[in-house]
Amino acid sequence: MLYEDLSKTMLYEDISKTMRYENLSKTIRYEDLSKTIRYEDLSKTMRYENLSKTIRYEDLSKTIRYEDLSKTMRYENLSKTMRYENLSTTMRYEDLSKTMRYETLSKTIRYEDLSKTIRYKDLSKTIRYEDLSETMIYETYRRR
């Protein structure tokens, strides 16, 4: 779950400063926080989240994570691909009193690579990283 400050309904985005910004030639990111719609068009790969219509859940008994993102479907079978966080070196938690979520990607690697035990996403040769530390959303892009 991404942290979004709905009280301010602002998103800081700037790739050159490793903040969250997406407007890379044919890469478009649109967020309408008032309607809770998240829309990403990364080249020819579309990721669309409508929080009232999409299905996102984790079935821990079957170790399957399933996301139905309208036109694209994403499956993770945790018995075949490891998704883990080293809790001895990082903290991943949600502070419900402050509605904040912290992730430190410098210590915890959370990528998708189904051939390895690393998890990261390759969306049309664009790798997306998120660092949600200090309630800000950061993304770094690089070509593979």
DSSP assignment, residue 18? T
3-state secondary structure of 17: helix
Rounded Cα distance between 86 and 141, Å, is 24
Give the pLDDT of residue 143: 53
Domain ranges of the chain: 15-135
Amino acid at 58: E
pLDDT at 88: 44
Largest CA distance in the chain: 42
Residues belonging to the chain: 144
Number of neighbours of residue 138 by Cβ within 10 angstroms? 21
pLDDT tens, position by position, 45-88? 444 444 444 444 444 444 444 444 444 444 444 444 444 444 44
Query: Does residue 120 contact residue 114 with C-beta atoms inside 8 Å?
Result: no
- How would residue 30 be classed by pLDDT, with cut points 50, 70 and 90? low
pLDDT band at 106 (very low <50, low <70, confident <90, very high): very low
The whole-angstrom distance between residue 86's C-alpha and the CA centroid of its chain comes to 18
What average pLDDT does range 115-123 have in this prediction?
A: 44
Confidence (pLDDT) at 60: 46
